Amino acid sequence: MAWPNIFQRGALLSQFSHHHVVVFLLTFFSYSLLHASRKTFSNVKVSISKQWTPSAFNKSIELPVEIWSSNHLFPSAEEATLFLGTLDTIFLFSYAVGLFISGIVGDRLNLRWVLSFGMCSSALVVFVFGTLTEWLHFYNKGLYCSLWIVNGLLQSTGWPCVVAVMGNWFGKAGRGVVFGLWSACASVGNILGACLASSVLQYGYEYAFLVTAAVQFAGGIIIFFGLLVSPEEIGLPGIEAEENFEDDSHRPLISGAENEDEAEPNYSIQEDKTITQVKAISFYQACCLPGVIAYSLAYACLKLVNYSFFFWLPFYLSNNFGWKEAEADKLSIWYDVGGIIGGTLQGFISDVLQKRAPVLALSLLLAVGSLVGYSRSPNDKSINALLMAVTGFFIGGPSNMISSAISADLGRQELIQGSTEALATVTGIVDGTGSIGAAVGQILPV
């Protein structure tokens, strides 16, 4: 057992300036906001499906048409639900394609511009999708599909950019803990989205979209004015210069071989780099790295389950137990709470054990049991919340670990020393494969 460096090195904290704190918080909250606006759609599924269908009330009393049945986009609630699932699938496929592209292309452009452009334009698309169509009473299936495809492509710029920026600022030392904490940003975003949506749902679902889109747009502006992509931007030494001072390399936990101190590849992605040799790694080479395919496939299966919960939990709670939509939204937060605790705790344990795979395997085995248990949950809010948190712990935990710490490990193996693009490309591959798995999972029941 080896305690993480963070306990042995008191000097660790002193190397983090206020810039590091700001970068951590900015990247954390920018991805949280992206995820929050994604979550809004699943939080308002019940209301949207009601808005698109005429009333199916079967009593003899007179129902004035303009209040109860003027909207005939879908003849029944079942058809509307099918279409909602189709929208999820479309989003995930375009998100996966966008991730593969962003992983390759994103290195050539300024990360700050890409991230703020992605956030602001995605916010505008979400606004048109949810709020403008309702204000103008213009409901059209083709419009919804195309807007959601564009949204998937724009949102995919977020993850590779934030991982790359974090990689520029935080090097080897303490990476496990820092990334473990940081990877909770997706779950925090889910919680934020659920809170925002449930608080304004009573005014109409269009305001849930408006609020999350507006906050995301504001976040994009703040990113533009406040984010420093790498230490070199203000003249500070990059992580490779700092890590040359360290004498004990905190090796990536995937590779088992002993290493001498190696020259750190620099994650900074400015075009006028002259300090290190920038060697591109091709897509095929990245796929052939040991562990990438295995973890990508595992992540595909895992993300399938995770995103089924992500997209349908409030809808399931509302339909199965008859709870009001705003309550179901608030309760679905517990799944993400379990995910945050799981990701941080399991990341810490795997740092201590110096092995990631056993922790993941055990967690996923226990996840099967917790899923079965959750499916038999009684109609009691406290018990359901507890089971939900446990399930989130065993599923969300490995999910957070694979997407952050393990991607960082894979992208930092000694086989590809000296290459800067490996991290973004590998992140793109792992997350892209995961998204494809999740997308396929959405259409499996159909």
Partner 1 sequence: MRSFPGQDLVQKFSGALFWRLVPRGRNASSSKPDIKICIQCPGSVQNLSEVALYCKQTSDLMLHARCCLNRKGTILGLDLQNCSLKDPGPYFPQARTAIIIDLQANSLQGDLANTFRGFTQLQTLILPQDVNCPGGINAWKTITSYINNQTCQEQRNLCNSTGDPEMCPENGSCAPDGPGRLQCVCAEGFHGYKCMRQGSFSLLMFFGILGSTTLSISTLLWGTQRRKAKAS
Reading the block at residue 70, the tokens are 């003027």
| Shortest distance, position 221 Cβ to partner 1, whole Å | 6
Q: How far is CA 42 from CA 232, 310, 412, in A?
A: 40, 7, 36
For partner 1, which residue of 57, 245, 382, 444 counts as binding (CB under 8 A)?
Answer: 57
Rounded to 5 degrees, what angle do the CA atoms 347, 431, 309 make?
Answer: 75
Q: Does 225 bind partner 1 (CB under 8 A)?
A: yes
Complex with partner 1: residue 167 or 432, whichever CB lies closer: 167
Stretch that binds partner 1, among 203-211, 330-338, 339-347, 386-394 (CB under 8 A): 203-211
For partner 1, which residue of 10, 14, 62, 322 counts as binding (CB under 8 A)?
Answer: 62
For partner 1, which residue of 221, 294, 365, 368 counts as binding (CB under 8 A)?
Answer: 221
For partner 1, which residue of 6, 145, 214, 297 counts as binding (CB under 8 A)?
Answer: 214
| Shortest distance, position 232 Cβ to partner 1, whole Å | 8
For 211, other C-beta atoms within 10 Å of its C-beta total 20
**What's the DSSP call for residue 128?**
I
Q: Does 377 bind partner 1 (CB under 8 A)?
A: no
Stretch that binds partner 1, among 164-172, 199-207, 280-288, 418-426 (CB under 8 A): 199-207
CA separation for the pair 421, 444 (Å, rounded): 35
For partner 1, which residue of 120, 123, 162, 211 counts as binding (CB under 8 A)?
Answer: 211
Complex with partner 1: residue 17 or 259, whichever CB lies closer: 17
| Shortest distance, position 28 Cβ to partner 1, whole Å | 14
User: Nearest to residue 46, comparing CAs of 322, 380, 385, 446?
Assistant: 322
Q: What is the CA radius of gyration of the chain?
A: 23
CA separation for the pair 16, 173 (Å, rounded): 11
For partner 1, which residue of 191, 228, 387, 439 counts as binding (CB under 8 A)?
Answer: 228
The residues near 265 (Cβ < 8 Å, ≥ 6 apart) are 240, 276, 412, 417, 418, 419, 420, 422
Q: Does 215 bind partner 1 (CB under 8 A)?
A: yes
CA separation for the pair 314, 205 (Å, rounded): 14
Residues 15-54 that bind partner 1 (CB under 8 A): 18-19, 22, 26, 47, 50-51
SS3 assignment, position 73: coil
The residues near 433 (Cβ < 8 Å, ≥ 6 apart) are 96, 296, 297, 299, 300
The residues near 350 (Cβ < 8 Å, ≥ 6 apart) are 176, 253, 356, 359, 360, 401, 405
Residues 209 and 126: beta-carbon distance below 8 Å? yes
For 345, other C-beta atoms within 10 Å of its C-beta total 15
x/- mask, partner 1, residues 95-134, rule CB under 8 A, reads ---------------x-x----------------------
For partner 1, which residue of 145, 218, 352, 386 counts as binding (CB under 8 A)?
Answer: 218
x/- mask, partner 1, residues 66-85, rule CB under 8 A, reads xxx-xx--------------
Q: Does 204 bind partner 1 (CB under 8 A)?
A: yes
| Shortest distance, position 109 Cβ to partner 1, whole Å | 11
Q: Does 322 bind partner 1 (CB under 8 A)?
A: no
DSSP secondary structure letters along 224-239 = HHH--SSGGGGT---H
Which residues are near partner 1 by CB under 8 A?
Answer: 18-19, 22, 26, 47, 50-51, 55, 57, 59, 61-64, 66-68, 70-71, 110, 112, 135-137, 200, 202-204, 207, 211, 214-215, 218, 221-222, 225-229, 233-235, 270
